[in-house]
Amino acid sequence: MVVSNRTETAVRCLRKRSRQIQTRTGAGITDGILHANMEEKRRDETKMDKMTYGTIEGVNKPVSRIFFGTAGTPFKNGGDASELLDGILALGINAIDTARVYGQSEKSIGDWIEKRGNRDRLVLLTKCCHPTPHWEKRVSEKEMRKDFARSSELLHTGYFDIYLLHRDDPEVPVGELVEAFNALHAEGKIGAFGGSNWTHERIDAANEYAYRRGLIPFTVSSPNYGLAEVRGDIWGGGSVSLSGPAQAEARTWYAETGMPVVAWSSLAAGFFSGRMKSTDAGRVGEFLDPYAQKGFAAADNFERLRRCEILAEKKGVQVPQVALSWLFHQKLNTYAVISTHSPARMEENIAALHLPLTEEECAWLNLM
């Protein structure tokens, strides 16, 4: 496996800066809170103190280590998500993950941004160039710009902190895409950019192209990553995961480069919600949607869940907290994308950032 020296050096710098920011947990983002009631404000600040932040090159503010995932309800149906989003923001989560293809998600978020006037506080990540419903590929500068225009309209902003290609098309020369991203960046339309569901080899090739020409490289990637191992191409169109033994080489590349990983479905789409028990393998349909069943309901993952249950009981915490703590203990520069309908549950997820696990516990959870 070849790691480009320049990728390594550049992203190592990021890592150092990221650590510096994390030690200033929550600093600088409390000033926008509009609560009149001082007691409520004090309580919220205490909650926000628990959030931790990293840096992503190209994003001009600290980025919460948890991104709020908005692919499901109420977002995809265009419902009013204001209360939920207010609750999530009050926890110190400033990063939101959406995409052009998440139904009405961008509209829901955009309506809230417009109502609250809080665009400057947010790290907005959206994605472009998802394949058509018939899985025809759409990876090109033309489609990037077309999606950008529509996303901007719905999100009420002409600027995305992070802009990602939602899938790759290896038939498209990587240089074309690097040039297209650089053009959008030069026009002041995007900050950081990269791929979601891109292999590390293609990202490395993109960054070699960028370095040879003095262009800005990809500084963020969004694959699946979590304690559960995904079975196959869960969403279609070439979804990429870093989990499981087969992805060891990819994880080594990420560990060596420090490339930020915005890990989608980090609770395995609810597999680790704690609602489904490890003894429920025969009735997964009662707990998981068809995608989660197809992607995660396998014997090895049920064993991982059983081990989470044991550690959760021993430590007096919840199953999802153990699964998330495992993720945050890995060597990668990880941000977890998590969806929930409940700020209270998100608060538990944030607490997982501070839940200690030994190396032995981490290895045992992952069946090693």
Ligand X SMILES: NC(=O)c1ccc[n+]([C@@H]2O[C@H](COP(=O)([O-])OP(=O)(O)OC[C@H]3O[C@@H](n4cnc5c(N)ncnc54)[C@H](OP(=O)(O)O)[C@@H]3O)[C@@H](O)[C@H]2O)c1
CB of 301 to ligand X, least distance (A): 13
Does position 92 interact with ligand X (CB under 6 A)? The reply is no
**209 to 238, contacts with ligand X by CB under 6 A?**
222, 235
Q: Mark 13-52 with x for binding to ligand X (rule: CB under 6 A) and - for no binding.
A: ----------------------------------------
Q: How many CB atoms lie within 10 A of CB 35?
A: 13
> Does 342 interact with ligand X (rule: CB under 6 A)?
yes
195 binds ligand X (CB under 6 A): no
User: Site residues for ligand X, window 51-90 (CB under 6 A)?
Assistant: 69-72
For ligand X, which is the closer residue by CB, 157 or 273? 273
Q: How far is the CB of 363 from ligand X (least distance, A)?
A: 22
Q: Which is nearer to ligand X, 241 or 333 (CB)?
A: 241
Specify the residue, 55 or 224, whose C-beta has the smaller distance to ligand X: 224
Tell me the site size for ligand X, rule CB under 6 A: 30
Bond preceding residue 173 cis, omega within 30 of 0: no
Among 18, 126, 196, 333, the residue binding ligand X under the rule CB under 6 A is 196
Residue 14 or 162 with smaller CB distance to ligand X = 162
Q: How far is the CB of 206 from ligand X (least distance, A)?
A: 17
From candidates 195, 274, 295, 343, binder to ligand X by CB under 6 A: 274
Give me the residues that bind ligand X (CB under 6 A), please: 69-72, 97, 196-197, 222, 235, 239, 264-270, 273-274, 318, 320, 337-342, 345, 348-349
